[in-house]
């Protein structure tokens, strides 16, 4: 006989032996009256003094370790799953119909209807214990504001022990995870006053960017970004000009800061307007290439133009009246060495091209794509982006191509609202009303 045939015969013999053992066990239980019989107090004994003896015997068969013969355990103490198993057993024994409708759960038999007890209702004791302050084993955070540390908290700097800090330093150290500043700190108003009144000690043209900007130092060692007035406030962007080919407006930075503050975002750096004397406050501090760009215009005004990608030449010079220049001063954020930031591409940025459109302008499924990818698929990032789009819509800013977050907060900080020089370019709602509000949909 081949070895395969031997294995098959062995398996068949084993199965036959197991079947015989199970049959003997079943007959042994039946002979001992576990399933009831004449005079045994089982299912067939309708005249028994114990109303639930039949059900108890069935449970003793189903759960032999938990229920002994003659147990007086009632169905009110059973779990829902145990009741259902017992009900099915009764149905098989008496040929009845199982009904799960209504409460309590019942089994309908040929001769009688036996109640299996009311369904146990969950009292949610675990939730009650969790909400009871006296039984809490951990702290529940009721509001997100509880998780709002400042840079000083992260760096473990005690501001109260450093009374000699300037308002610029306090502002930078009090930058928080969720806001750039808080009204409770009271530092911003003092900072605006300092930028409005303190003397300048140094000026230097800011590197990068497309238009002219200066980095200025104050007497208290604070720094700010200076944007000069290029044309009157009532001058609108020409209809045939693209959004990326116009001058930046110094007053747009000032107004955007106040709108951001009124909305309660508090994510735009503090900005103040100031009148400077070119002859006495800027020219004496100019150095290098910037110094060589100063000249006197045919109208007798003092002008300069610096060096940048756009509008930094004699035909686009910055001129005083005759030497008084209106500027905006925006407080600098903490230096990258102390509080590094990460720059992110705005998913709904413009194409910055006179013929090409951005992807979100031609792809109907673009919004779903953005929402399914990190970091916009979880957390507050997408909601913060919607806040930013609301601000851009209200101020008419179409020049939002990047945003920044603070790395020391795990890049889960608020989105810094920077660079609003191309806002408020028109007094009418034009194309920007359709482009800046796209993320909010």
Residues 196 and 56 in one domain: no
Is-contact 108 98, C-beta < 8 A?
yes
Does the annotation list 317 as a binding residue? no
Residues 221 and 324 in one domain: yes
Q: What is the pLDDT of residues 101-129, one digit of tens each?
A: 444 444 444 444 444 444 556 777 777 77
Instruction: Find the domain containing 44 and state its range.
Output: 32-115
Q: Report the range out of 77-91, 101-115, 152-166 with the highest average pLDDT.
A: 152-166
Higher pLDDT, 33 or 324: 324
The pLDDT of residue 364: 87
The percentage of the chain sitting over the pLDDT mark of 70, rounded to a whole number, equals 70
- Single pTM value for the model: 0.65
Does the annotation list 419 as a binding residue? yes
The pLDDT of residue 112: 46
How many separate helices (H) and strands (E) can be counted in the chain? Answer: 12, 13
Paired sense of beta strands 200-205 and 214-218, if any: antiparallel
The percentage of the chain sitting over the pLDDT mark of 90, rounded to a whole number, equals 42
Residue ranges with strand state E in 295-417: 295-296, 302-304, 318-319, 324-331, 341-345, 402-406
Cis geometry, peptide bond prior to residue 322 (ω within 30 degrees of 0): yes
The band of 428, judged by pLDDT with boundaries at 50, 70 and 90, is low
Cross-strand partners of 403: 344
The band of 28, judged by pLDDT with boundaries at 50, 70 and 90, is low
Residues 110 and 159 in one domain: no
Does the annotation list 136 as a binding residue? no
Does the annotation list 211 as a binding residue? yes
Residues 46 and 188 in one domain: no
Count of other CB atoms within 10 angstroms of residue 327: 21
CA distances, 203 to each of 96, 223, 329, 330, 432 (Å): 96, 10, 12, 14, 35
Q: What is the mean pLDDT of the chain?
A: 78
Does the annotation list 227 as a binding residue? yes
Residue 332 lies in a domain: yes
Q: Is 18 helix (H, G, I), strand (E, B) or coil?
A: helix
**C-alpha 100, offset from chain centre:** 45
Best CA proximity match to 401, nearest among 337, 349, 354: 349
Is-contact 242 341, C-beta < 8 A?
no
Is-contact 317 376, C-beta < 8 A?
no
Domain count, the chain: 2
Residues 239 and 353 in one domain: yes
Residue 404, classified by CB atoms within 10 Å of its CB into exposed (0-12), middle (13-18) or buried (19+), is middle
Q: Which two tokens stand for residue 397?
A: 């800013």
399 is catalytic: yes
The pLDDT of residue 293: 95
Residue 18 lies in a domain: no
Residue 139 lies in a domain: no
Best CA proximity match to 258, nearest among 145, 404, 435, 395: 395
Between 237-246, 285-294, 420-429, the lowest mean confidence (pLDDT) is in 237-246
Residue 314 lies in a domain: yes
The pLDDT of residue 75: 43
Residues 87 and 164 in one domain: no
């Amino acid at each position: 006989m081949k070895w395969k045939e031997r294995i098959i015969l062995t398996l068949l013999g084993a199965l036959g032996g197991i079947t015989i053992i199970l049959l003997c066990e079943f007959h042994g239980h039946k002979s001992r009256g576990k399933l009831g019989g004449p005079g045994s107090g089982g299912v067939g004994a309708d005249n028994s003094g114990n109303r639930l003896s039949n059900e108890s015997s069935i449970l003793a068969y189903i759960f032999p370790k938990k229920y002994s013969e003659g147990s007086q355990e009632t169905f009110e103490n059973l779990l829902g799953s145990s009741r259902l198993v017992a009900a099915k057993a009764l149905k098989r024994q008496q040929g009845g119909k199982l009904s799960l409708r209504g409460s309590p759960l019942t089994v309908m038999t040929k001769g009688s209807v036996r109640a299996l007890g009311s369904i146990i209702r969950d009292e949610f004791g675990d939730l009650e214990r969790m909400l009871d302050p006296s039984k809490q084993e951990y702290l529940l955070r009721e509001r997100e504001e509880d998780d709002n540390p400042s840079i000083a908290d992260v760096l473990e700097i005690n501001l109260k022990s450093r009374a000699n800090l300037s308002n610029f330093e306090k502002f930078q150290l009090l930058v928080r995870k969720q806001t750039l500043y808080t009204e409770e700190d009271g530092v911003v108003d003092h900072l605006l006053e300092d930028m409005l009144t303190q003397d300048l000690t140094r000026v230097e043209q800011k590197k990068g960017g497309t238009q002219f900007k200066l980095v200025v130092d104050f007497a208290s060692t604070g720094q700010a970004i200076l944007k000069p007035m290029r044309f009157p406030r009532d001058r609108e962007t020409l209809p045939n000009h693209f959004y990326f080919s116009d001058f930046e407006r110094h007053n747009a930075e000032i107004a955007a800061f106040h709108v951001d503050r009124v909305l309660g975002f508090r994510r735009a750096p503090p900005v103040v307007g100031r009148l400077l004397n070119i002859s006495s406050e800027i020219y004496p501090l100019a150095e290098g290439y910037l110094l060589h760009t100063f000249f006197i215009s045919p109208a007798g005004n003092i002008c300069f133009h610096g060096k940048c990608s756009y509008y930094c030449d004699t035909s686009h010079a910055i001129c005083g009246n005759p030497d008084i220049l209106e500027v905006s001063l925006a407080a600098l954020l903490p230096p990258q060495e102390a509080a590094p930031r990460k720059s992110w591409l705005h998913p709904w940025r413009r194409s910055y091209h006179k013929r090409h459109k951005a992807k979100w302008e031609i792809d109907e499924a673009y919004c779903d794509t953005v929402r399914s990818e990190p970091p916009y698929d979880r957390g507050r990032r997408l909601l913060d982006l919607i806040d930013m789009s609301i601000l851009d819509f209200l101020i008419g800013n179409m020049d939002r191509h990047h945003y920044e977050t603070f790395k020391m907060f795990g890049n889960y900080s608020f989105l810094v609202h920077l660079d609003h020089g191309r806002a408020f370019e028109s007094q009418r709602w034009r194309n920007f009303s359709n482009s800046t509000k796209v993320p909010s949909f």
